[in-house]
Amino acid sequence: MLYSVFAWRRGFRQDNRVNYLLLLLACGLHTTAMIRRGFSLNQCPVNNLYEATLFLTWALVAAYLMVGFWARLRYLGAFASPVLFAIGVFALMPALDPPHGPKPEFSGAGASLHAALILLAYGSFGLGSVSGAMFLTQEHNLKFHKLRAVLSYFPPIQRLEMATLRLVLAGFLLLTVGLGIGARLPRPAGPGLLQDAKVIWSGVLWVLYLMLLLARWRFDQTGRRFAVATIGIFLFVMLTFWGTNLLSPLHHP
């Protein structure tokens, strides 16, 4: 995150791989921690808010590392690093990881696949919002700092717009499949599926991204409006994810 600050101050005027390598190293340590915790529990580690946050940040980094193979998109990491750092600090709050936290109601491969797909969808949405932020920054540079835009190592603004669209589309497909699998999982006796706060929230999120994609294709809502909407919806995810998880008997019994 600190290195990203220097990249911002330099205006991204050099193709430096240090930020990418730092995130790659962090992802290796992050993956090791998740695997060790999973084996200690003998199940997918998504049982409380700490573990869900751990998985969410891992998904965002994994998505970035795949996109970062292309040098012109590598500076997505300079936008993602501060966000990842802030989420990581939040996840360290002791209340999110109680010593004897509740056990999940579901078990088996279906539940793990459901959780993995949903959280990978959030990671794709997060990276899409990062790409949207890059789009807005480059648009601002083109309008007010033309020389800085020319010297910058940002990708062309059209490529940023297309990357944002593809990341949102990939996240939407992952979310759709993940929700479909979740609907088929066995559930404990209690309130109906459509009465669960997290299920309702997930449905609202699915509709929001569907409307965003339809607006992009059918009503030509491109460029700045699409980028702003992408960032806004992901901020909604970040601000409401933990609260709805706590209110959900299925996900936080």
| The residue count for the chain | 253
Mean pLDDT of 206-220: 88
Mean pLDDT of 198-221: 87
Has residue 146 got a pLDDT over 60? no
How sure is the predictor about 209, in pLDDT bands with cuts at 50, 70 and 90?
very high
pTM reported for the whole predicted model? 0.65
**d(Cα 16, Cα 188) in Å, to the nearest integer?**
51
- Return the C-alpha torsion angle 216, 217, 218, 224, nearest 10: 30
Helix ranges (DSSP H) in the chain: 2-9, 18-41, 49-67, 76-91, 109-144, 146-151, 157-183, 197-218, 224-247
How sure is the predictor about 250, in pLDDT bands with cuts at 50, 70 and 90?
low
Has residue 243 got a pLDDT over 60? yes
Q: Which residue has the higher pLDDT, 78 or 174?
A: 174
Count of CB atoms situated within 10 Å of the CB of 176: 15
